[in-house]
Structure 1
Amino acid sequence: MRLAALVLALAPVAAAGPGGAQEAAAEWYEAPAEIVSAPQNATDIQRRTPRESVRNFIEVSDAGRHDAAAYFLNLSDLPQDERAAAGADLARQLAIVIDRQLWIDWASLSARPDAMQEHGGANSALAGKARRDLGLKLAQVDGQAYEIRLGRYKAEGADPVWLFTPQTVDNIPVLYRAFGPAWFERHIPDQLTQRVAGLRLWEWILLPLMLGALFGLGWAAQRLVGFVGARLPKSYLRQAMERSRVPMGLVVVAIAAQFMLELGVSFSGPATTILRPFLLIVMVSGIGLTALRVVDAILDRITLRVIGDIDDTRSLDERELYTSIYAVRRIIVLLMVGIAIIVVLSRLNLFDTLGMSLLASAGLLTVLLGIAGQAVLGNIMASLQIALAKPIRIGDSILFEDDWAYVESIFYTFLRLRTWDERRIIVPVKYFVSQPFENWSVTDARILKTITLFLDHKADIDTLREVFFDLAKQDEGVIEPEEHLFAAVTDHTAHGQEMSFYAMSPDPSTGWSTAMRLREKLLAHIRENHPDWWPQERFLSGAGEGSRKAAAAAD
């Protein structure tokens, strides 16, 4: 029994032993002792954590001790007899590449030996798990991706250490040729290579000079575009060139700056991390704006040539075409913005390591942007709804909140309405589609106008009807008089009667002016022939003595 109990007690330990060893082995890579070893008295070659390895590698490299810096590289892919000589040179080259290309986010670089990610961050799947390798930088050279990466290595009987991986060591010559010192840096005095606020002195001098030269180049480019555009034979081409002066100048500046960087102007990691993405964004934005301005000029040309000025006198097909042109423009803008975002993100690799730390707050950022941009996004969706469903078209005559106006333009976030008296009403699209409105041009532009007169009880509707018919048939603003011309008493009170006269006009603007003319002529006829038809004040027969006295005094 005692033997059985002892076996049962030792069974869990025996079962856990191999599994625990396997789990521990998954936290590092096995490596020979000569790869992970370091001199016994080298107190500055500490490699227990990723942060410690990178920091000490940079410090010993800056001190010029490249032979010591070689102990931070996994040189297992090199022949053993070449490791001493080649290791120091590779460490020197890697230190320069890191200096030129890597802006280290020390807060996100783990200080734990197992590099465990304690919180979810950008990738919650890694939270609470030990890691045996992590990436620092992914660089593009001639269309190929080359990575600077750390790995955790352990030899039998030794503690695990963090080293630059063999793949990184293989990539060093390629990265150094692409991002190493430019030819002119060999002639820079040592005094100007000292660092101030993260950059070298010569960079503080060269950056303003470079920016000034680029600014002058951009100014000259946009002036040249304007000069060439003014001499083009086609008006829409001149308009397109004039609108594209500034974005084309930005494109020229970005291309020139990229050319300078490719030619040999190599800055430190902080400057490169900011400068290259900024130039890429400027270039993509400039190209997109230039293309959009050209498209705008072409669409304006089509509009003016095919349709002309837009108002409710235009046919339904013409107004629908104009609205469709604006919808095409919005689709083109969305496509350009989407393509630009894809290009920028794919080229920048999300700012590599720095971008990953930014993504750690992506969830919160998405919520904040969703709340802040709710109104903008709502207006954009409402604008697309108008473009597809077409409850209104550009040129339609509408009555919106007691204002008679034409739909002059439909933009992403607002509409511009032109009133009959040449005022402009700016209405958010989302608000507009949520409010009732009258579209007088939804099927055609014809409108039945009403002329209302308030007259005395003695006024004869038959007489005024004949007068109105004669006046309306002679007015050029009245159409279809045989079908849509009539008059009637539409209300009656103790003080008089309301007479309404109806006439059809081809469009609201013509109808408005026609109604004004007919009203004036009816009033003139009454004034000249029946002045007793004007409204008169009457007193009821049942009024008291005081009322009769007041009426007599008034007479």
Structure 2
Amino acid sequence: MRDLMIGILTVVASAGAAIVFVEILHWTVRRIGRRSQLAADLAATAHRPFLAATTLFAVQLGIRWLLGDFDGRGPLLHLLVILFIAAFGWLVAALVLVLEDAALARWRTDVPDNLKRRRLKTQVVILRRVTVAAIVVLTLGVVLMTFPGIRALGASVLASAGVVSVIAALAAQSTLGNVFAGLQLAFSDAVRVDDVVVVEQEWGRIEELTLTYVAVQIWDDRRLILPTSYFTTKPFQNWTRTGSAVLGTAELDVDFGTDIEPLRAELRAVCEGSELWDGRVCVLQVTDAVGGNVRLRALVSANDAGSLWDLRCLVRERLVAYVWEHQRDALPRVRADLQRSGAAPAGPATGRAPAPAGPSPDAQVFSGGPDGRERGTRFAGPDDPTQIIPSVRGA
């Protein structure tokens, strides 16, 4: 009995020594964390799992080497081994999460040019979920292998693994498809966290991307939840795949007698007077002239989708106000010809100034300025039609 009490006290002392060691180390890392964010995150996240793993390891060693044989020694040691494996898996997962958080903190996405940062954030978030799932599965596997009966069944389990995998694949075909689609999205760069997309006729931002679903934050703060396989099987619009700068339009119907150049000058004044405009594109064009009206389309650019929306609304508001104040005769109207057949048309001359000899730079989308010429080069076909003949023949 005396030896047993000494052994128990020794085990308790070893556990206490382990706790003291962990707390001293935790205090040291916290002091270092005042100057290092990584150390601060490590002290906050890995303290508990490290304390649990170290204490269980010390207690296990104390019982194994300091206590003699007693009733229940084997089951107690087996339980301590299982708890230590679980605590060690918890510690590994905590360390991985600290490293991933450090990577995300280094590559912040709340900056103007965040294309590479959003790509890295998407990949890190996906890898975090995969890593945690892998650690949990491996931990459970190691725990199960501590049972002799399960180890004896290992050969038969491996022999039937092919049949089981086929049955599981058929039963979870949809889930596995979404998992592989999530991995494909993470590394194919088709869509990333914080990308602005248009899906299901809804405009929003990729808020969360997991292995099985994608959460899209709609502009009015609704959430659209879609399976990851949606983005690999159906078309969608990605407004920020190569950059956040985008183009947008504001359309206006006016009368045939409208003088376009003053409206073009007003559009230029609105864009140059607004911080929403990025200085790239400010164009007013006549895109349609049927049904008794002329349709004007103002094409403007902005650094991101949110600024573009506000700029389009501003341009539409200012053009409507300008037409109402300065060209009220340009409002859309319905005409009826009541003169007799054969009569000469009557009416004073309009007295309008002659049209300019050449098109204004603000009236050209695919020509005029460097940006327009570059856009025209990207969207135009080959200059020589014979250049496409070899590819057609090869097809």
- Tell me, yes or no, whether TM beats 0.5: yes
Look up the match of 1:292. Answer: 96
CA distance in 1, matches of 2:77, 2:177: 35
- In the alignment, structure 1 segments of 5+ residues that lack a partner are 1-182, 186-213, 543-555
**1:518 aligned counterpart, secondary structure:** helix
How far 1:515 moved relative to its partner? 1.5
Provide the C-alpha distance between the structure 2 equivalents of 1:431 and 1:222, rounded to a whole number of angstroms.
Answer: 48
Output the amino acid matched with 2:317: E
Show the counterpart of 1:237.
39
Deviations 1:484-538 (A, max 9, x none): 33222334554744321101223323222222222221122123223454445x5
Cα distance in 2, alignment partners of residues 435 and 225 from structure 1: 53
Asked if 1:488 is matched to 2:292, the reply is no
Which of residues 514, 524, 544 in structure 1 aligns to 2:321?
Answer: 524
**Equivalence for 2:105:** 301
Pick closer, same or farther for the CA change 1:350–1:459 going to 2, 3 Å.
farther
Report matched runs for 1:36-55 at 5 Å.
none
3-state secondary structure, aligned to 2:265: helix
Q: Deviations over 1:250-287 (max 9, x none)?
A: 53565366446635586669956973674254134212
Q: Which has the larger radius of gyration?
A: 1
Q: What corresponds to 1:85 in structure 2?
A: none
Paired position in structure 2 for 1:499: 296
- Find the aligned partners of 1:528 and 1:226 in 2 and give their Cα distance: 72
Shift of 1:451: 0.8
Q: Distance in 2 between matches of 1:323 and 1:519?
A: 36
Deviations 1:225-262 (A, max 9, x none): 99877653133433343333554455356536644663
The unaligned stretches of length 5 or more in structure 2 are 6-14, 339-395
Is contact 1:225-1:245 (8 Å) kept? no
Cα deviations by residue, 1:387-421 (Å, 9 ceiling, x for unpaired) = 32211233432222223233344333333434444
* Bigger shift: residues 522-531 or 223-232: 223-232
Counterpart of 1:392, as a letter, is V
Aligned partner of 1:377 in structure 2 is 176
Distance 2:80 2:196 in 1: 51
Cα shift at 1:222: 11
SS of the equivalent of 2:301 reads strand
Q: Is the 8 A contact 1:237 1:297 kept in 2?
A: no
Kept in 2: contact 1:221–1:252 (CA 8 A): no
CA positional deviation for 1:350: 6.9
SS at match of 1:479: strand
Return the letter of the residue paired with 2:296. M
Which residue number corresponds to residue 464 of structure 1? 263
Q: Which amino acid aligns with 1:241?
A: A
After TM superposition, the score normalised by the length of structure 2 is 0.63
Residues 238-257 of structure 1: pairs in structure 2 closer than 5 A: 238-245=40-47, 247-248=49-50, 250-252=52-54, 254-255=56-57
Does residue 404 (structure 1) correspond to residue 206 (structure 2)? The answer is: no
Aligned pair partner of 1:478 in 253, 277, 281: 277
Do structure 1's residue 427 and structure 2's residue 226 form an aligned pair? yes
User: How is 1:324-363 mapped onto 2 (pairs within 5 angstroms)?
Assistant: 324-326=123-125, 329=128, 333=132, 336=135, 340=139, 344=143, 351-353=150-152
Q: Is the 2:107–2:117 Cα contact (8 Å) retained in structure 1?
A: no
Task: Tell me how far apart the structure 2 counterparts of residues 539 and 369 of structure 1 sit (CA, whole Å).
Answer: 71
Q: Secondary structure at the match of 2:192?
A: coil
Sort the Cα spacing of 1:368 and 1:339 in 2 relative to 1 into closer, same or farther, 3 A: same
The root-mean-square deviation of aligned C-alpha atoms, in Å, is 4.6
- SS state at 1:476 partner: coil
Aligned residues of 2:38 and 2:102 also touching (Cα < 8 A): yes
Deviations 1:322-368 (A, max 9, x none): 44544664675577567657755665567334666777875665455
Q: Is the contact between residue 244 and residue 293 of structure 1 (CA under 8 Å) also seen in structure 2? A: no
Asked if the contact 2:126–2:210 (Cα under 8 Å) also holds between the matched residues in 1, the reply is no
Amino acid paired to 1:393: R
2: CA distance, partners of 1:511 / 1:284: 51
Q: Deviation at 1:298?
A: 1.6
Letter in 2 for 1:509: G
CA contact (8 A) 1:382 1:429 kept: yes
SS at match of 1:393: coil
- Is residue 394 from structure 1 mapped to residue 193 from structure 2 by the alignment? yes
- Taking the aligned partners of 1:277 and 1:359, their CA distance within structure 2 comes to 25
Paired with 2:77 and 2:169, the residues of 1 have a C-alpha distance of 28
Q: How many pairs are equivalent? A: 326
From the superposition, tell whether residues 358 and 528 of structure 1 become closer, same or farther in structure 2 (CA, over 3 Å): same
- Separation in structure 1 between the aligned mates of residue 238 and residue 267 of structure 2, nearest angstrom: 28
Q: What is the distance in 1 between the residues matched to 2:20 and 2:202?
A: 48
Contact in 2 for aligned 1:221/1:249 (Cα 8 Å): no
Alpha-carbon distance in 2 for matches of 1:318, 1:419: 22
Q: How far apart are residue 315 of structure 1 and its match?
A: 4.5
Q: Which residue of 1 aligns with 2:86?
A: 282
Partner of 2:95: helix, strand, or coil? helix
Correspondence list, 1:177-326, <5 A: 184=4, 232-233=33-34, 234-245=36-47, 247-248=49-50, 250-252=52-54, 254-255=56-57, 258-259=60-61, 262=64, 264=67, 271=75, 275=79, 278-279=82-83, 281-304=85-108, 308-309=109-110, 313-326=112-125
Deviation (angstroms), 1:435: 2.2
Partner letter of residue 64 of structure 2?
Answer: E
Q: Supply the distance in 1 between the matched residues of 2:171 and 2:78 (Cα, whole angstroms).
A: 26
**TM-score with structure 1 setting the length:** 0.47
Checking the alignment, whether the CA contact within 8 Å between 1:452 and 1:501 is kept in structure 2 is yes
Q: CA deviation at 1:316?
A: 3.4
Shift in alpha-carbon separation, 1:257–1:273, aligned structure 2, 3 A: closer
Determine the structure 1 residue equivalent to 2:370. Answer: none
Measure the CA separation in 2 of the matches of 1:279 and 1:230: 27
